[in-house]
Amino acid sequence: MTLDLNRVLVTGGRGMVGRYADFGLRPFREALDITDKTQALAFIRTAKPSAILHLAAETDMRYCEAHPKEALRVNAEATATLAKAAAVGARFVYLSTNAVFDGLKESPYDEDDIPYPVNAYGRSKYEGEEYVKAYAKEWLIVRTGWVFGGGRAGDKRFVGRIISQLKAPEIKAIADNFGAPTYAKDLMSTIKELILSGKTGTVHVANSGIASRFDQAKYITDFFAYHGKITPMYLRDLTGIPSSLKNEALVSKTLRLRSWQEALSEYLKTEWPHNV
Ligand SMILES: NC(=O)c1ccc[n+]([C@@H]2O[C@H](COP(=O)([O-])OP(=O)(O)OC[C@H]3O[C@@H](n4cnc5c(N)ncnc54)[C@H](OP(=O)(O)O)[C@@H]3O)[C@@H](O)[C@H]2O)c1
């Protein structure tokens, strides 16, 4: 029987990734605070969702590093609550991250690599994964990383920050850490297909190819014909930043999405019109 997409409960549906969900129930935090066990259980018992797409998380890595218990409460313990509540007959889909890996591998991480998180955010998301496996009956874990999206109104991440500097004389970006930049729109349409196909297990979803932050910044500055100087920086120049892993790139053994350049080009064209 085909799963009813209208009855998918999307947590974090107003976030950068969630805003691309064109299906399901997307309650505001006031109606469903995932850390409020009583409220979450009551909501799920009443809504009886066909699936729970769990996106809500504390995603600020610096905040997580400074408040590891809070990171665990939001990213792991609340995930356990929701995974148990999926016993109403809902398939459980959890969005996880490249931060479950240690960043030391010389090539992109695939689904067979063993997680070993090295920062508070990564540990909390990995613990979330473990709870999903322990408590949900039918589950899918989707790992992604270096997501961009949200456009002028909602992009506070790397791409949005580079665009906001296009009037400055110089833009700096790290040249020696690598990821697989991924358009939130492509991520969400792939998740939707995976939900409809009944996929279970763990899968990596990322646009194809790898890039450094410098490569990404260069692509953006070229796209907007930036006249200033673009300067590479190196991880050794940064101190105290928990996200500074060398290798954050993901690849999938089964899925292949379009290239990050093609996806980024569409994003800039369609979601940043009439820029600067
Ligand atoms: N962005 C990336 O590069 C990336 C990479 C890998 C994995 N992910 C994962 O993808 C998911 C979505 O990330 P995102 O980039 O869309 O994050 P985001 O923009 O920070 O959005 C997070 C969402 O979670 C909601 N939320 C946080 N705490 C909540 C609570 N206690 N109760 C209910 N809702 C709560 C927020 O609600 P408010 O709107 O009310 O604040 C927001 O809608 C996360 O699970 C993240 O770990 C993201």
Q: What is the residue with the minimal CA distance to atom 35 of ligand 1?
A: 56
Rounded Cα–Cα distance for residues 210 and 108 (Å):
8
Q: What is the residue with the minimal CA distance to atom 40 of ligand 1?
A: 29
Average confidence score pLDDT of the chain = 95
- Residue 173's closest CA among 210, 227, 217? 217
pLDDT for residue 2: 81
Q: What is the pTM of this model?
A: 0.97
> DSSP letter string over 20-37?
G--SSB---TTT--TT-H
Mean pLDDT of 1-8: 89
pLDDT for residue 219: 98
pLDDT for residue 237: 82
Angle at 207 between CA 206 and CA 209, to 5 degrees: 110
Residue 147 contacts residue 187 (beta carbons within 8 Å): yes
What distance in angstroms lies between residue 1's CA and the mean position of ligand 1's atoms? Answer: 30
What distance in angstroms lies between residue 262's CA and the mean position of ligand 1's atoms? Answer: 25
pLDDT for residue 245: 85
| Percent of the chain at pLDDT exceeding 70 | 97
pLDDT for residue 59 is more than 70: yes
With cut-offs at 50, 70 and 90, classify the pLDDT of residue 72: very high
What distance in angstroms lies between residue 61's CA and the mean position of ligand 1's atoms? Answer: 12
Q: Of ligand 1's atoms, which has the minimum distance to the CA of residue 182?
A: 3
What distance in angstroms lies between residue 244's CA and the mean position of ligand 1's atoms? Answer: 20
pLDDT for residue 212: 97
Domains of the chain: 5-147+180-204 (3.40.50.720), 149-179+211-248+258-271 (3.90.25.10)
Q: How do residues 10-35 score in pLDDT, each as one tens digit?
A: 999 999 999 999 999 999 999 999 99
pLDDT for residue 243: 54
pLDDT for residue 242: 54
pLDDT for residue 276 is more than 60: no
Q: How do residues 106-148 score in pLDDT, each as one tens digit?
A: 999 999 999 999 999 999 999 999 999 999 999 999 999 999 9
Q: Of ligand 1's atoms, which has the minimum distance to the CA of residue 19?
A: 16
pLDDT for residue 153: 87
> DSSP letter string over 123-176?
HHHHHHHHHHHHH-SSEEEEEE-SEE--HHHH--SHHHHHHTTTTSSEEEEESS
| Percent of the chain at pLDDT exceeding 90 | 92
Rounded Cα–Cα distance for residues 45 and 87 (Å):
9
Which residues approach ligand 1 with their CB closer than 6 A?
Answer: 11-12, 14-18, 29, 33-35, 55-59, 74, 95, 97, 125, 144-147
Q: What is the residue with the minimal CA distance to atom 23 of ligand 1?
A: 12
Q: What is the residue with the minimal CA distance to atom 11 of ligand 1?
A: 55
- Residue 90's closest CA among 50, 55, 54, 53? 50
What distance in angstroms lies between residue 138's CA and the mean position of ligand 1's atoms? Answer: 22
Mean pLDDT of 171-185: 97
pLDDT for residue 189: 98
In one-letter notation, the amino acid at residue 22 is D
Q: Which residues are catalytic?
A: 121
Q: How do residues 210-241 score in pLDDT, each as one tens digit?
A: 999 999 999 999 999 999 999 999 988 877 66
